[in-house]
Amino acid sequence: MNKKINTVREIRLQYRSRITREAPVITTSEEAYQVLKNYYDPDYLGIREEIIILYLNNANKVLGVYRGFSGGMTATVVDIRLILAVALKGLSTGIIISHNHPSGSLTASEADKKLTHQLKKAGELFGIKVLDHVIVSPQGTFLSFADEGLL
């Protein structure tokens, strides 16, 4: 028998749900913002961009949060594969992506729109919906792509 065949590792997927009754259900952009703002470090909100993703089930109950990426003052690198890998592993059916603009601007950049479009298109292949993209400012305000018709 070929020894190389015996050294291949088996891949197992295991999932244990720890959803409690207290897990929030997101039905509006305001509710999403209220959950998301708890995960931004106020000391860095005006200094560097950070990406935070909420993962939801089919009833829009939050399954978890992923503090994915952080960068510089004007940009951060985002890997759509990692965002979707977390969604698939967590059996999410919806995601809400969020990032902050250290400048305080609540205008969606072309890069923001492109990322949202790419993530939405990639998610569709796996039945994962991008429910919103929320831009957070250090001043405690936000912009919702869903509310603005940008999805």
Mean pLDDT of the chain: 88
H/E segment holding residue 30? helix 29-36
In a domain, 130, yes or no: yes
In a domain, 3, yes or no: no
- What is the rounded distance in angstroms from the CA atom of residue 59 to the CA atom of residue 92? 10
Read off the pLDDT of residues 64-76 as tens digits, 9 standing for 90 and up: 999 877 666 666 7
Domain extent, residue 108, equals 24-148
What is the reported pLDDT for 22? 82
In a domain, 10, yes or no: no
In a domain, 5, yes or no: no
Report the domain count for the chain.
1
Residue 135 region, left (φ>0) first, then alpha (ψ -120 to 50), else beta?
beta
CATH code assigned at 103: 3.40.140.10
In a domain, 15, yes or no: no
Read off the pLDDT of residues 85-141 as tens digits, 9 standing for 90 and up: 999 998 999 999 999 999 999 999 999 999 999 999 999 999 999 999 999 999 999
Instruction: Answer whether residue 4 shows pLDDT above 80.
Output: no
- What is the rounded distance in angstroms from the CA atom of residue 99 to the CA atom of residue 39? 11
Span 54-69, average pLDDT = 91
In a domain, 14, yes or no: no
- What is the rounded distance in angstroms from the CA atom of residue 53 to the CA atom of residue 64? 8
- State the Cα angle at 97 between 11 and 55, rounded to 5°: 45
Question: What share of the chain in percent tops pLDDT 70?
Answer: 83
In a domain, 7, yes or no: no
- What is the rounded distance in angstroms from the CA atom of residue 98 to the CA atom of residue 115? 11
